[in-house]
């Protein structure tokens, strides 16, 4: 698909613009949720959840669920996993990181088994893992879901910004003073799950966690206050996504890996800048 | 005026009673130091006071109209805070959140209250300083300023001097004493018995089911107190 072809074909243009919108919105949500997840030492959760997403997709395929049904099956599975992981991380009985690692590899193993039972590792499985080589697989449902998700995340930050900061900085204090209860945890888990499931289609299960981690890590290297960190993460996420997406479309590269590579380069530059 | 009354209180931890038949009271203006070895139930008692745990027997009640939102709390420091990108001002202002349900913005009066707490903790000039660049003692004073911002009648402090050197510890205790003298009721968990004896108006010593509650002078003369102050002097 060359750029001139793209503008010549209205259908193609619409599909690409839809993918651009979905990607930009999901990147924004992932970055904002990522700041609280990374700072609370829950970095691996995005990765764990995407593997659960892969496992659930595979089970869906085995059960003959395709298209929008696959999403309706995957979303609750990932949301449940997210809630359990966040709970585990706080209770401290089983170390959070061990729990995530176990869940990741187990879900991956089951996912591969399910795919091979349903007729081998097809292109479908490959897309779930590494993201769509083209952006044509994104549906209108994905676009609406990502729009709804972004509105929810932005509203959450607009209304509860100070509380989110208080909980992220000091969960023990927030719990003791009644600033954050189970509802907060549930909401964070749910939004993270939706971000992972929607983002997975474009980025692939193994790369979606980059959207959560890199913007936060870039921002943390450049900012001294929490407010600046949240804003910088959002800007970094949008910038990296737009550049990566444009490069991918122009050069015919897969979207996920291109965006992640751009994020990696910005992260390295930010690290060098902090040292200097 | 009695702010807090514990009546025949029993608390369990992991199904095992750590505090049994405990009775004590905190009067307005008191500085109560809770001492005792690890596992003696100090943290469990704190959790009960903060409403995170229900009594397993007896009762713990607030008096004189005291509510949980009027208590300022200083938890033990979390290791992840050491490199957290946040400024002193941002952190101290979160102490305001307990006062209201919905909070998109802080008002002028609220910002002024936070500024007074920073002043009291000698943090003036450091408002915009990033938390990770501060010394351990300064970081603890920031968290104390947050507690002070939340506290309208009582400060609850969990090991405020943990991990600090003796000079910084003495400064921190002086700052807490100043607040106490200005009328703030203080309830502090501590390992440091000599300092506790010098600043407390009441001592509560928890020792595996047994306990002492009384004035520092009585404590020094009691069997529990003799054993522990003796050990502390070595």
Tens of pLDDT, residue by residue over A119-152, are: 776 777 777 777 765 566 677 887 888 888 888 8
d(CA A146, CA A195): 8
Q: Which of B52, B69, B84 sits opposite A169 (nearest CB)?
A: B84
Q: Which residues, in sequence order, are bridge partners of residue B4?
A: B26, B62
Look at the block and give the residue holding tokens 């005291």. Answer: B66
pLDDT (tens digit, 0 to 9) for every residue of chain B, 234 residues total?
899 999 999 999 888 888 999 999 999 999 999 998 888 889 899 999 998 889 999 999 999 889 888 899 999 887 778 889 999 999 999 998 876 666 578 889 889 999 999 999 999 999 999 999 999 999 999 999 999 999 889 999 999 988 889 899 999 999 999 999 999 999 999 888 888 888 999 999 998 778 999 999 899 888 888 887 765 544
Which pLDDT does position B181 carry in this prediction?
94
Buried b / exposed e over A247-265, threshold 16 CB at 10 Å, is bbbeeeebbbbbbbbbbee
Is B91 within 8 Å of A158 when comparing Cβ atoms? no
Closest CA to A241 of A75, A27, A69: A27
Q: How far is A273 from chain B (nearest CA, A)?
A: 16
CB pair distance less than 8 Å for A165 and B86: yes
Q: What is the pLDDT of residue A89?
A: 62
Quote the pLDDT of residue A234: 96
pLDDT at B206: 92
Amino acid B234: pLDDT: 42
pLDDT at position B233: 46
Under the phi-then-psi rule, with left for phi > 0, alpha for psi from -120 to 50, and beta for the rest, what region is A201? alpha
Rounded Cα distance between B224 and A211, Å, is: 58
Distance CA B176, CA B144 (A): 9
- Nearest CB among A171, A173, A225 relative to B90 is that of A225
Which long-range CB contacts under 8 A does A64-69 form with residues at least 24 apart?
A: A67/A139, A68/A139, A68/A141
pLDDT on residue B102:
64
Distance CA(B164)–CA(B173), nearest Å, equals 11
pLDDT in tens, A209-254: 899 999 999 999 999 999 999 999 999 999 999 999 999 988 988 8
The fraction of chain A above a pLDDT of 70, given in percent, is 89
Complex ipTM, two decimals? 0.87
Rounded CA separation B202/B213 (Å): 7
Residues on chain B touching A161 (C-beta within 8 angstroms): 104
Partner-chain residue, chosen from A39, A160, A165, that has the shortest CB–CB distance to B90? A165
Select the residue from B88, B92, B94 to test the A interface by mutation, using most A Cβ atoms within 10 A.
Answer: B94
Q: Pick left, alpha or beta for residue A119 (phi over 0 → left; psi -120 to 50 → alpha; otherwise beta).
A: left
- Phi/psi at A180 (nearest 5 deg)? -140, 120
Q: Is A154 on the interface with B (CB under 8 A)?
A: no
pLDDT for position B100: 67
Distance, in Å, from the CA atom of B41 to the CA atom of B10, rounded to the nearest integer, reads 10
- Which parts of chain A register pLDDT below 50? none
Average pLDDT taken over every residue of chain A: 85
pTM, rounded to two decimals:
0.86
pLDDT of residue A133: 57
Q: Which residues of B touch A163 (CB under 8 A)?
A: 97, 103
Q: Do B102 and A159 touch (CB under 8 A)?
A: yes
């Amino acid at each position: 698909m060359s750029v001139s072809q793209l503008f010549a074909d209205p259908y193609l243009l619409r599909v690409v613009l839809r993918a651009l919108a979905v990607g930009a919105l999901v990147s924004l949500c992932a970055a904002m949720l990522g700041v609280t997840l990374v700072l609370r030492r829950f970095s691996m959760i995005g990765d764990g959840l995407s593997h659960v997403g892969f496992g659930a997709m595979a089970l869906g395929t085995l059960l003959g669920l395709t298209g929008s049904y696959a999403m309706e099956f995957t979303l609750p599975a990932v949301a449940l996993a997210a809630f359990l992981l966040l709970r585990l991380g706080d209770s401290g009985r089983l170390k959070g990181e061990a729990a995530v690692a176990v869940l990741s590899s187990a879900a991956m193993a089951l996912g591969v088994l399910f795919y091979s039972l349903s007729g081998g590792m097809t292109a479908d499985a490959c897309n779930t893992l590494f993201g769509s080589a083209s952006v044509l697989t994104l549906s209108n449902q994905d676009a609406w879901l990502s729009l709804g998700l972004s509105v929810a995340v932005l509203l959450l930050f607009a209304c509860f910004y100070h509380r989110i900061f208080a909980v992220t900085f000091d969960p023990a204090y927030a719990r003791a003073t009644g600033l954050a209860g189970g509802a907060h945890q549930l909401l964070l888990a749910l939004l993270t799950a939706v971000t992972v499931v929607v983002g997975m289609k474009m980025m692939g299960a193994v790369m979606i966690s980059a959207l959560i981690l890199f913007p936060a890590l870039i921002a943390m290297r450049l900012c001294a206050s929490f407010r600046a960190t949240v804003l910088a993460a959002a800007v970094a996420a949008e910038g990296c996504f737009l550049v990566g997406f444009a490069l991918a479309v122009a050069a015919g590269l897969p979207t996920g890996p291109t965006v992640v590579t751009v994020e990696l380069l910005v992260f390295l530059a930010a690290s060098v800048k902090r040292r200097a | 005026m009695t702010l807090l009354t514990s009546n025949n209180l029993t608390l369990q931890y992991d199904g095992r009673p750590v505090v049994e038949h405990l009775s004590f009271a905190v009067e307005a203006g008191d500085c109560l130091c809770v001492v005792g070895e690890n596992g003696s139930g100090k943290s469990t008692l704190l959790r009960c006071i903060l409403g995170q745990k229900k009594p397993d027997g007896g009762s713990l009640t607030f008096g004189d109209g005291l509510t949980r939102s009027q208590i300022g709390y200083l938890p033990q420091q979390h290791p992840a805070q050491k490199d957290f990108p946040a400024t002193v001002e941002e952190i101290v202002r979160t102490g305001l959140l307990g006062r209201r349900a919905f909070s998109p913005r802080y008002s002028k009066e609220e910002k002024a209250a936070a500024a007074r707490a920073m002043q009291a903790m000698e943090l003036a000039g450091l408002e915009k300083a990033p938390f990770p660049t501060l010394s351990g003692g300064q970081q603890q004073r920031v968290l104390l300023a947050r507690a002070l911002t939340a506290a309208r009648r009582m400060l609850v402090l969990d090991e405020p001097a943990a991990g600090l050197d003796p000079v910084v510890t003495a400064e921190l205790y002086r700052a807490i004493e100043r607040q106490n003298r200005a009328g703030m009721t203080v309830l502090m968990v501590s390992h440091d018995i000599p300092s506790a004896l010098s600043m407390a108006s009441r001592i509560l010593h928890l020792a595996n089911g047994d306990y002492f509650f009384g004035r520092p002078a009585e404590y020094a003369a009691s069997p529990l107190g003799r054993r522990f102050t003796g050990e502390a002097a070595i």
